[in-house]
Amino acid sequence: MCSVDERMRVVDANGKLVPHLYCIGDANGKMMLAHAASAQGISVVEQVSGRDHVLNHLSIPAACFTHPEISMVGLTEPQAREKAEKEGFEISIAKTSFKANTKALAENEGEGPAKVLLIVYLLNSVFISSETIMVEIHVFLEC
């Protein structure tokens, strides 16, 4: 594995940044998934184009190309509950039908027991006076 900082800049064994060297994808071990490699690549392109960019890995959607497929973005429910307890905000969870997924419908797989877990955080941000809503989503068929 190649050590990198939050901007995918390579860090040497002494913790120093290696100038002009970035490492994206599986090789940096941050999040060994296809969409993460892609998002890290875009982030690095932004930076070398002169636009500073720090990638929020929690915002990267992940898909498991299994059958049935599983997709997710953000924290898991236990992680969200822990964060809510520590930081003193509320979460709410919504479950809905797999029929709402247009890809499942297009593939004629909208039927059957399914679970879509939608977690909405209501956060009071110091920087934004109104409430900020963060959403995380997990989609999977219930066996």
Q: What is the nearest approach in angstroms of ligand FAD to the Cβ of residue 98? A: 19
- Among residues 21, 34, 45, 93, the one that binds ligand FAD under rule CB under 6 A: 34
Work out whether 64 is an interface residue with ligand FAD (CB under 6 A): yes
Stretch that binds ligand FAD, among 21-29, 44-52, 81-89, 102-110 (CB under 6 A): 21-29
- The site that binds ligand FAD (CB under 6 A) totals a number of residues, namely 12
- Count of alpha carbons within 13 Å of 52, Cβ hemisphere only? 1
Stretch that binds ligand FAD, among 30-38, 44-52, 101-109, 110-118 (CB under 6 A): 30-38
Residues 6+ apart with CB under 8 A from 30: 4, 36, 40, 57
- C-alpha 131, offset from chain centre: 21
CA distances to 10, 26, 27, 44, 50 from 18, in Å:
6, 19, 16, 15, 18
What is the spatial distance between Cα 19 and Cα 59, in angstroms, rounded to a whole number? Answer: 27
Q: What is the nearest approach in angstroms of ligand FAD to the Cβ of residue 38? A: 8
User: Where do runs of H (alpha helix) occur along the chain?
Assistant: 34-48, 77-87, 102-106
Work out whether 35 is an interface residue with ligand FAD (CB under 6 A): yes
Work out whether 37 is an interface residue with ligand FAD (CB under 6 A): yes
List interacting residues with ligand FAD (CB under 6 A): 25-27, 32-35, 37, 62-65
